[in-house]
Every structure is written in C-alpha cells, then in structure tokens.
C-alpha cells in the first residue's frame, strides 16, 4: 500500500500594505545570519598577506594622515585633547559606519543566488552584514585604549555611556543600509552613488574637526546627521571631550525614523526581491 505524503508549500506573494518582520521567524533562522557573517570574515582575510593586521594598520595610517593634513597643516583644533587620540575615536566609529553601510547595501545582491533560490527571512542578509565590522571596531577601540594610556587621559563616569553610543551607531547604520539595500535590488546605480554619498557623509561628520566649529545657526541641521551625535558622544565618553549639549540628541529621532521606515520599506518590498534581483 502506497502512502501519500503531503508536502507543505509556502506561497511567497508580494506584500500588500505595511508589514513588520516576524521576530520569531527571524530567531528561527538566526544561524543563517551567523553563517553569512562568518563567511564574509573568512573571505575578507583569506589569502591576505597581513591578515587581521589590516584592522590595526588602517586606523593607524588614517590617524597619521589626518594628524599631518588637518592638525599640522590646517591647524584644526581638537578641544584641548591630543589630536591623534581625538581623531582616532572618530575614525573607529566612521570606519565601521562607512564600511558597514556599503556591505549592508550590497548584502542582498551579493547573495543573489541564495535570495532567488532559497526561502529565508531576507532581513537576515543585512543583519549579517552588521556583524563582521564589529570585529574591526573592537580592535580599533582596543587601539583607542592604548592611546588613552599613552597620552595619560583619565576616564570619567561618562565612559559608562559608551554602549549607548555604540548601539545608536549600529541602529543608524542598519536603518540606512536597509533603505539602500532594498533600493539597490531594483536600481543598480545605487552602488555607484554609494561611494560619493559616503565621501560627502565624511565631510559633514566631525571626524577631522570638532563640531564646535559649526556655526550655531547650522548646528541643529548638522546634528540631524546621526554620526555627528555618535562621534561627539563617543569622544565625550571615551576621552573626556567637552559635552556638546542637549543638541547632540537631535539625531536620535532621525535615527529611529530611519530604522522604523527602513524596516517597513524593506518588508514591503522583500517578496519581490527574488523576481528582480
């Protein structure tokens, strides 16, 4: 006697209206995010002459260039803090933000074969892109700790707020990456625009200079940039830079709007990805 087995089918229709991700489903597939993140780490350092040493060389060489160009030649102030450690804190955050936004933008198209052939919550692709950069960020923060000791900078109670600024940075990067990643599936010229956007983003973020140089009239608009608040918050927490005032929290509502709208837009377009990727 032959037994008939009924297979369970999942119909992947395009979404209608606004949707929010099923967090239980994301959790069930969490191992896939770890697998994608680990794969990206292995690919990055596979057959590399210096291996993980690049995570140390990159911030150090950037600090040297910034110190010579902006501090020595352009005489940019650093709020009474030694300029190398002043800019290293910003570069640690900026390096994570810029590289992770690029990886998050490319996370779906870079996994096109997986997206078009296998069902999984697509949100896990940009989530996985957030993780590899955290390894480099931790190394950069370790270098910051060494610089703090070398320049005899005493930590204050503000150091306890460090996790807050790091979380705010990851949330901002994730929100931006969701928008760009979903748009990149349909509009491939996003990949060409991302380099220009990141370059402009660098200049409107207080990486090489303090935000105190920004005229007071422009400061509310300036701090609408999420990285402006993150970088100044990190400097205040880690190296005792002056507190910029309540205006630092102007970027918080925009960061939340970027995250919520990014998730909604991503979920709204998710089920069309396999058709157009």
pLDDT above 70 covers a percentage of the chain that reads 90
Q: So what's the pLDDT on residue 20?
A: 74
- DSSP code for 69: I
Structural domain includes residue 250: yes
Structural domain includes residue 258: yes
**CA-to-CA distance for 35 and 118, rounded, in angstroms?**
15
Position 27 pLDDT exceeds 90? no
Query: DSSP letters of 150-183?
Result: HTTPPP-GGGGGHHHHHHHHHHHHHHHHHHHHHH
Structural domain includes residue 15: no
For 81, the domain range is 23-269
Chain segment 50-60, per-residue pLDDT in tens = 556 777 788 88
Q: Are 205 and 151 in contact (CB under 8 A)?
A: no
Q: Is the dihedral of CA 196, 198, 204, 208 positive or negative?
A: negative
What does residue 110 show for φ and ψ, rounded to 5 degrees? -65, -20
Q: Are 205 and 94 in contact (CB under 8 A)?
A: yes
- DSSP code for 29: T
Structural domain includes residue 8: no
**CA-to-CA distance for 221 and 250, rounded, in angstroms?**
8
Question: How many other CB atoms are found less than 10 A from the CB of residue 10?
Answer: 6
Chain segment 140-198, per-residue pLDDT in tens = 999 999 999 999 999 899 999 999 999 999 999 999 999 999 999 988 888 888 889 99
Structural domain includes residue 6: no
Give the residue carrying structure tokens 């020595």.
72
> If pLDDT is split at 50, 70 and 90, which confidence band does 13 have?
low
Position 230 pLDDT exceeds 90? yes
pLDDT above 90 covers a percentage of the chain that reads 57
**CA-to-CA distance for 198 and 215, rounded, in angstroms?**
23
Structural domain includes residue 190: yes
Q: So what's the pLDDT on residue 51?
A: 59
Domain count for the chain, please give it: 1
Structural domain includes residue 100: yes
Structural domain includes residue 276: no
From 166, 142, 146, select the one nearest 234 (Cα to Cα). Answer: 166
Q: So what's the pLDDT on residue 10?
A: 54
**CA-to-CA distance for 169 and 229, rounded, in angstroms?**
9
């Amino acid at each position: 006697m032959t037994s008939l087995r009924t297979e369970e089918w999942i119909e992947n229709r395009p979404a209608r209206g606004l949707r929010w991700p099923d967090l239980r489903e994301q959790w069930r597939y969490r191992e896939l995010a770890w697998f994608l993140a680990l794969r990206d780490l292995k690919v990055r350092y596979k057959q590399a002459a210096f291996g993980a040493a690049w995570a140390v060389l990159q911030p150090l060489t950037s600090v040297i260039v910034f110190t010579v160009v902006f501090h020595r030649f352009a005489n940019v102030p650093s709020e009474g803090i030694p300029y190398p450690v002043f800019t290293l804190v910003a570069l640690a955050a900026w390096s994570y933000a810029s590289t992770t936004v690029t990886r998050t933008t490319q996370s779906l198209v870079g996994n096109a074969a997986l997206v078009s052939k296998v069902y999984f919550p697509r949100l896990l692709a940009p989530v996985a892109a957030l993780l590899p950069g955290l390894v480099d960020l931790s190394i950069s923060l370790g270098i910051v700790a060494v610089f703090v000791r070398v320049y005899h900078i005493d930590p204050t109670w503000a150091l306890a707020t460090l996790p807050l600024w790091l979380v705010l940075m990851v949330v901002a990067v994730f929100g931006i990456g969701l928008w760009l990643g979903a748009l990149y599936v349909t509009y491939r010229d996003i990949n060409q625009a991302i380099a220009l956007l990141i370059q402009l983003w660098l200049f409107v973020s207080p990486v090489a200079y303090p935000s105190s140089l920004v005229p007071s009239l422009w400061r509310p608009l300036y701090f609408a940039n999420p990285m402006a608040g993150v970088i100044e918050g990190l400097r205040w927490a880690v190296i005792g830079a002056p507190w910029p005032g309540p205006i630092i929290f102007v970027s918080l509502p925009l960061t939340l709007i970027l995250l919520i709208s990014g998730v909604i837009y991503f979920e709204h377009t998710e089920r069309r990805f396999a058709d157009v990727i």
